[in-house]
Chain A
Amino acid sequence: MKRVAIVTRAIDPAALIAEVQSPELGAISLFVGTVRDTNDGRPVKALDYSAYTAMAESELAEIVSEAGVQFGAPAVVVEHRIGPLELGDVSVAIVSASAHREQAIECTRFVIEEIKKRVPIWKREHYADGSREWVDPTRASEARAT
């Protein structure tokens, strides 16, 4: 089973694990991204994500389909949250299940790396000094941090 979604509610990683669980799949790999309290040395208070939702969901589906071909993981579920998020909130969760651990772990890693490259989702950080800024990972100092 494969499912991807852009959501505006809290993400429940345990529910995603339950979704892929199956007796023939002996390995489940989970990645959870959460809101960090600093970026590039600046204290972060909160942030908001926005997305070009239609394209984000089609790119996510494409990534998951590529991952299926490359790693043979038969079950992958991805949820990415958008809207306002607080420190520690889950922004993204990826679950891959496979017969053996290697495919599941590699699949999860592939999906998060591709999300960072090509899924149209944007993050605006709210800093402790009251300013706000769209994060641009293509800028040199941020490219090192991500």
Chain B
Amino acid sequence: MSMVTVQLFASCAEALGGQTLEIPLDSGSTVADLVRGIRSLPGGQSLPPSMRIAVNRKFAEPDQIIDGKDEIAAIPPVAGG
């Protein structure tokens, strides 16, 4: 098990009350595992349903394996333009 740091933005940061969070993940955990973990945290029920995860600055698929050295971010629905 290792701790991974997740950057939080906009409504995700507001729901969880901070700009980053640290979450323990078993080795071989996937993006879907991470999402389950984040949603189970206090405030997790307020996260947007369509939140996505970016790994190393790219949108990740649910079955992607997370490495402890990856740059990870929780991405709420984008609204640029």
Contacts and interface: CB of A to CB of B under 8 A. Distances in A.
Interface of A: 33, 49-52, 54-56, 58-59, 80, 91-92, 112, 115-124, 134-138, 146
Interface in B46-81: 48-50, 54, 57-59, 73, 75-81
Contact of A121 (B50, B59, B78): B78
Contacts of A124: 10
A13 B26 CA distance: 49
Contacts of A119: 78, 80
Contacts of A136: 11, 48, 50, 76-77, 79
A12 B58 CA distance: 29
Given A112-B81, A116-B80, A120-B78, 11 more contacts: A52-B9, A55-B57, A55-B73, A118-B59, A118-B78, A120-B54, A120-B80, A122-B11, A137-B77, A138-B48, A138-B49
B14 A122 contact: no
The dominant DSSP class at the A interface is mixed
Nearest to A33: B81
Nearest to A134: B11
A92 B81 contact: yes
B80 A52 contact: no
Contacts of B78: 116-122, 137
A33 B78 CA distance: 16
A89 B73 CA distance: 29
B7 interface: yes
B20 to A, nearest CB: 12
25 contacts: A50-B9, A50-B10, A52-B54, A52-B75, A55-B58, A56-B80, A59-B57, A92-B80, A112-B81, A117-B78, A118-B59, A118-B78, A119-B78, A120-B9, A120-B78, A120-B80, A121-B78, A122-B9, A123-B79, A134-B14, A136-B48, A136-B77, A136-B79, A138-B48, A146-B81
A123 to B, nearest CB: 4
B50 A134 contact: no
Q: Which one of B48, B54, B77, B79 has the greatest number of beta carbons of chain A within 10 Å?
A: B79
